[in-house]
Structure 1
Amino acid sequence: MQTRGAIVRQAPGKYEVVDLDLDDPRSDELQVKMVASGMCHSDDHIATGDIPVGVYPMAGGHEGAGIVTKAGNNSKGIKEGDHVVFSFLPSCGHCRWCAQGMQNLCDLGAGILAGPRWTDPTSYRLHLAGTDTPVGQMCGISTFLETTVVSADSAVKVPDDIPLDVACLVGCGVGTGWGSAVNSANVQPGHTVIIMGIGGIGINAVQGAAHAGASNVIAVDPVAFKREKAQELGATHAVETMEEATELAKQFTNGQGADSTIVTVGVIKSEHVGQAMGSIRKAGTCVVTALGNMTDVGVPISLADLTLSQKRLQGALFGASNPNWDILRQLQLYREGVLKLDELVTKTYKLDDIGQGYQDMHDGKNIRGVIKYDA
């Protein structure tokens, strides 16, 4: 069939909407009519070239939800008409990492930026309309498409009564931020937590820290609108700089520093990690969730402080989530009114307005922009 989607032809580049030829689903695959897609900063990293991919053109989008229109054989019980949320990280269910309850580290994830199917480097489901030119799929799903074909390993069936235009957010941003606080930082009741950067990830780290019982949740962002949103969704304090946040944390902890600091800035630099490590107490945790230029190496931290203060520097991929469990768990929390999803969506866009959506993100106008395909 033919569909429309947003692709980047090169990096640096910009998303453009084009006609595409889409193959039918094969065994273990699903065809899904998209309902909504979150506009995550990671897809912008693809356009800027901060995150290199294996092939261009590349169809973007990795945070989405839709309705299954066709199901191949062996599609894990998912059938036509089912509502699904995509996990941008697939989980096979039987590799070492899945078996140990670390689905976010599934071996299949090694191929999500390559473009073709991770099981066959020559196998594509997308081509430029009327040509033999293959088009890669971001994370094997490409949610910036009106209709897409994905592996069943990337789909989680969700209840029909949950609106997909907000459910899509748990496929990346919510789980990544919430899990960074709850799982990776192991926030406990009474903790003091700093969240550095309040975008689509940071705002959910705020929610996670508050949900875990932190007494002080300090949001840091230079944009006043984002500081206000953070306080609406659980932050007890919101400041412009890490210097202010570090001083506040020390005031709350008799000079010790934050129990944890979570780095969720839009484009990470080494100095962000240095500031975060300097803000935490002895035996505190610095969680690095943000991404930037993938070739950057080195962070300005004191090795003596790392050792003698017994601090922990912790990376976080998808907030150390197990998507087949955590996506459903987070949607249940949404049902119960504990986890806020509707409030995360600043503005919705049509697919053709994707460029404006990312411009709004760069201008600090959005917590999360969402593409709605029925708009």
Structure 2
Amino acid sequence: MTIKNIIVLGMYPYPWHSDEISDTMRSMTKAFEGYKRLFINPSVGFRRASQEGYGFRTDWECKEDQGVLVCTPPLEVIPSSFGLGNMKKSWILKRFNDLVERELGANWREETLIYLSSGGITQSYDAAVTLKPKWLILDILDDNLGFPGIQEDERALLENEFQVLLNQATLITAVSEHLVNKTQKEYSIPVEWLPNGVDVEQFRYRSEYATPLEELEDFRKPLFGFVGALTSWIDFELLLKIADHPKTGTLVLVGPLIEGAVPADLLNRMKDHPKIQFPGAKPYGEVPHLLHQFNVLLLPRNYQPHSLASDPLKLYEYMATGKPIVSTALPSALRFGDTIFVGSNHQEFLSLLERAEEEWSEQKAAKEIALSESLSWKNRAQKLIGLFENRR
């Protein structure tokens, strides 16, 4: 039976309209060409739904956007407190079954692929158990069970749900070799390696990106920039050393600052440092212009287990700019060690700051861009479908 439809469950907390960051599930949905596509918005919760004016609905609402049918769950403006949470969830899932049959027909299971991720294990589990699909792909995007701050009882529940997803999946993929090996070792189940992708055209140089941004004009040059969440996988001690380095004019850290994930003493030192600037989070559409304003792009990830397991989208976006990149020695970065600058410790990383601009050339930029072109979302989507067809 030919697959005609793909249902994608979005990652919490990024519904289709979110402009905070890019994520794998939305990007892959756009790249699945030639199928009827349903994108299922993750539930965002009462507070955010109220702030963003979701409105009261008792059934799923679907609207077409860019050739994708985007579906938003009902009852989002109903709080989960006062015992309403289970009732709300039960209603949403019951109507979810109705939605899929209404949009795809009574025999949808024979010709529909469900594409779920580890980014929101419980919502993926609920979707799989509710729909009982014939064909299911599970894409492991992070070591989600290894994230800090998860309580033991919650972790046990998530592990059980994750096991159900693994057992039900037709195909399991993971974005890093670390995750492939970890999952195969712990669950004795085959996993395919499928790295992340990038929208190359969005980050490729354009003439308008040469226009100086007013918010950066008063910063001392050269600009060393990072764009992304400042959270538990960032090496904050390294950031302070980068700011202290004589080569650095200004260290510009663009993105949401998750203060609870940053040691208080380091955060206070960073906020007081004269060479560190925090412009805050920016709409995703503005990120390419920002990146092209920086002299050197930084990926200062630490070596915590959940960081080592990652395959940062930011690295791919950086490469598409053709700008010099300095990264810590994540396994995902070491793959590109002959193209980008990778430091295995703080001293080595700092020495590369001096070399990054001096040794950069048009030839190296062209090589970096060409490599990113081979890592497009379209190519990733085609590889995923190919792996699926070989497996079923």
Higher helix proportion (structure 1 or 2):
2
Q: Normalising by structure 1, what TM-score? A: 0.32
Q: Give the TM-score of the pair, scaled to structure 2.
A: 0.31
Structure with greater contact order relative to length (CA < 8 Å, sep ≥ 6): 1
User: Greater strand percent: which structure?
Assistant: 1
